Structure 1
Amino acid sequence: MNVLIVYTHPNHKSLSYAFLQKVIAASTGNHAIKELKVLDLYQENFNPVLVFNETKKRRDMHQDPALEQYRQQILWADKIVFIYPIWWGRPPAMLLGYFDQLFAANFAYKAKGKYLSDGLLKGKKAVCISTMKGPSHYPLFLLHNAHKALMKKAVLNFVGIKKVKFFEFGSMELPNGKHQQKLNKVYQFFLTMKN
């Protein structure tokens, strides 16, 4: 299988970066993974800002030449891994800007009637690895599972990616946050992951 990692954190000394390194190391040792590509949105200087005007129409976003390389990465991937922190109960604006631009109509989905859509990325799978300062149960009980609902239902399921695995790690800024245990959990998952 082909695996695309979309990494979204501005600091390469962060815990998110440590998770990225574990995923890369484990994937390299997994014979089910044919090829691995990493897209570091901050390092890439990805521009998350949407621009629509007289010359740049939203209806044409699916064929914007500036985004072609990113569209090809998505088409190439069998599994897309998103690694990011949870800020304000949701992924960073950089990652949301990536979705805004790449998951465009006529590339990632097609309108079906007035309110429905047909996801065009069917058959692909996703893994979301996220870290947060608050406790693990915070998004579930206080935010009504907003993060998972956003990622799974509002974004990934909408474009046809139905199988989504979550690693949502809380209390990550505590000295006893069990960082190594959580890093090893992710490592073992990717070492034995099948398509």
Structure 2
Amino acid sequence: MKTLVIFTHPNHNSLSYAFLQKVLEGIVENSNIKEVQVLDLYQERFNPLLVFNEEKRRRDMHLDPNLKKYREQIVWADQIVFVYPIWWGRPPAMLLGYIDQLFAANFAYKDGGFIPQGLLKGKSAVCVSTMKGPANYPLIFLNNTHKVLMKKALLNFVGIKKVKFFEFGNMESPNGKQAVKLNKVYRYFRKVHV
């Protein structure tokens, strides 16, 4: 199995970065995972801004030469792992800008008929996210918007049906059980297989 880890947080002293390290520790110990690539969107200085004009048309985004290496990473991966905080009930704008550009028509899905055809079938995805608020806040107050966005509106739409969530709340609390949650992620990646 080949795993692409997409990390989205501007601070390497953050709890999100600690979760990234636990993901990677588990991957290193997992004999099912043969190769791993890490894409740190902030360190990469990924440009999340969409630009459409006379020279850059939306319908040609799947051919953009500036995004070629990122498309190749997605094609290469059997498993895509997203590690990010939840801000305002959704992933950071940096990650959403990546998604807007990379999960484009004629690369991630194909229009046609009533339901578009997902072109990334056979892959799996894991979302590891942290938030300041209580763990049940997105479910109770936001109608599970985060999971609906990531699973149904994005991943299932492009053909990725196997999606696992680690959505950890109370992460800024002294009683947030951060060590327990970090260990849970480590144990999962140590054993996961597609």
Measured against the shorter chain, the TM-score band is over 0.9
Count of residue correspondences: 194
Which whole-Å CA distance do the structure 1 matches of 2:107 and 2:180 have between them? 39
Q: Distance in 2 between matches of 1:59 and 1:66?
A: 15
Residue in structure 2 matched with residue 132 of structure 1 by the alignment:
131
| Segments ≥4 residues shifted beyond 2 Å | none
- The residue number in structure 1 matching 2:13 is 13
- Rounded Cα–Cα distance in structure 2 between residues aligned with 1:87 and 1:80: 21
The answer as to 2:156 corresponding to 1:165 is: no
User: 2 CA distance for matches of 1:131 and 1:121?
Assistant: 26
Secondary structure at the residue paired with 1:183?
helix
Q: Percent identity?
A: 71
Task: Report the CA distance between 1:116 and its aligned residue.
Answer: 2.0
- 2:31 matched to 1:31? yes
Superposition TM-score, scaled by structure 1 size: 0.99
Question: What one-letter code is carried by the residue in structure 2 that aligns with 1:24?
Answer: L
CA deviation map 1:158-194 (0-9, x unaligned): 1001110000000000011000000000000000111
Q: Deviations over 1:22-80 (max 9, x none)?
A: 11111011100010100000000000000000011111100100000000000000000
Aligned AA (2:168): F
**1:189 matched to which residue of 2?**
188
Please report how far the alpha carbon of residue 112 of structure 1 lies from its aligned counterpart in structure 2 after TM superposition: 1.8
Partner SS state of residue 157, structure 2: helix
Report the alpha carbon displacement of residue 89 of structure 1 after superposing the two structures with TM.
0.2
CA RMSD of aligned residues (A): 0.6
Q: Which amino acid aligns with 1:56?
A: K
- TM-score (norm: length of structure 2): 0.99
Q: What does residue 55 of structure 2 align with?
A: 55
Aligned-partner Cα distance in 2 for 1:137–1:97: 26
1:139-175 CA-partner distances (Å, limit 9, x unpaired): 0000000000000000111100111000000000001
